[in-house]
Amino acid sequence: MTGFESSKLDSVLLKKELNELRNLINSGDKLDEQRVIQPFFRKRKQLSAFIGSFMSGLDVNRVSFELDLFGDFSPDLVLGDSTRSRYCFVEFESGLPNAIFKKATGRKAPRWSGKFEEGYSQIVDWFWKIEEQSGTSSFRKLFEADSIACNGLLIIGRDKELDAFGRSRMSWRSEKVVVNSSLIQCMTYDSLLSDLERRIMIYNY
C-alpha cells in the first residue's frame, strides 16, 4: 500500500473484532506471522486502529498496512493522528515458541532471539528514515507535516514463554530504552489482548 486510509471508530465492530482476537489467542493455534497474524489484522481494521491507543494522545484517523516508507521500508501497520502529527509504527512478529528468548550455551540468562532483534531493528530503521526524510516534499505529501512524533510497538511471542526474569527484561527494555526520543514498546499477543480489553473498559466503548 502506498498511503493511508481514513479511520473512524465503530465501537460495535471493534468489540466484535476484539472478541475474534480473544478467540484466536485462546484457540491454541500456532501464531505464525505470515500465515496467521498479518492476515488476521488486515481483515480487522477497527481492531488494528485501536492498537494506536497505546500511544498517549493518539486519536487515530489514518491507518495503513505495509506503508511505502519512501521506497525503502514497509511497516506492518502505521496508525496516525494527522491533526496532531503523531504516529504509531507497529511490527508484528511470530507468536511461536522461543520468539522472544533463546537458550544460550555457557550462560544462565537466555539471549534475545533473532526474531526479536530483527523486529526491533526494523522499527529503529523506520525511525531513522522518518528523521532523514523530515521536511522534504515527499514527507509532507505522505504525512501532511514537516515532522511527526512517533512511537514503535513490537508485538511478539506468548506469555507462556516468559518467566518473571524474562518479563522483567522485556518490560525494562520497553519502558527504558529510548531511540531518538521515541519509545519502542514490546509486548506479547496475550498482553496485547488483555491491554486492549482493559482500554475498552476505560473508554467505556
Domain residue spans of the chain: 5-203
* Residue 131 pLDDT exceeds 70: yes
- For residue 78, what are the contacts with CB-CB under 8 A and spacing of at least 6? 4, 62, 63, 64, 67, 87, 88, 89, 90
Q: Parallel, antiparallel, or unpaired: how do β-strands 86-92 and 149-155 relate?
A: parallel
Q: Any idea what DSSP says for residue 106?
A: T
Contacts of 157 (CB under 8 A, 6+ apart): 93, 94, 95, 96, 99, 100, 116, 188, 189
Q: Which residue has the higher pLDDT, 205 or 50?
A: 50
d(CA 49, CA 8): 9
Average pLDDT, rounded, for the chain: 94
DSSP string, 118-166: HHHHHHHHHHHHHHHHTTSHHHHHHHSSS--EEEEEEE-S-GGG--HHH
pLDDT band at residue 44 using 50, 70 and 90 as cut-offs: very high
How far apart, in whole angstroms, are the C-alpha atoms of residue 171 and residue 169?
6
Model pLDDT, residue 1: 45
pLDDT, position 105 = 81
Q: Nearest-CA neighbor of 136 among 125, 153, 148?
A: 148
pLDDT digits (tens, 9 = 90+) for 155-166: 999 999 999 999
Mean pLDDT, residues 16-37 taken together: 94
Looking up cell 493518539 gives 58
Residue 2 pLDDT exceeds 70: no
pLDDT at 50: 96
Nearest-angstrom CA–CA distance, 72 and 89: 15
3-state helix, strand, coil split of the chain in percent (to 5) is 45, 20, 35
The grid coordinates of residue 189 equal: 499477543
CB 76 within 8 A of CB 48: no
CB 49: neighbour CB atoms within 10 A? 24
Q: What is the mean pLDDT of residues 171-195?
A: 95
pLDDT band at 57 (very low <50, low <70, confident <90, very high): confident
Q: What is the pLDDT of residues 73-82, one digit of tens each?
A: 999 999 999 9
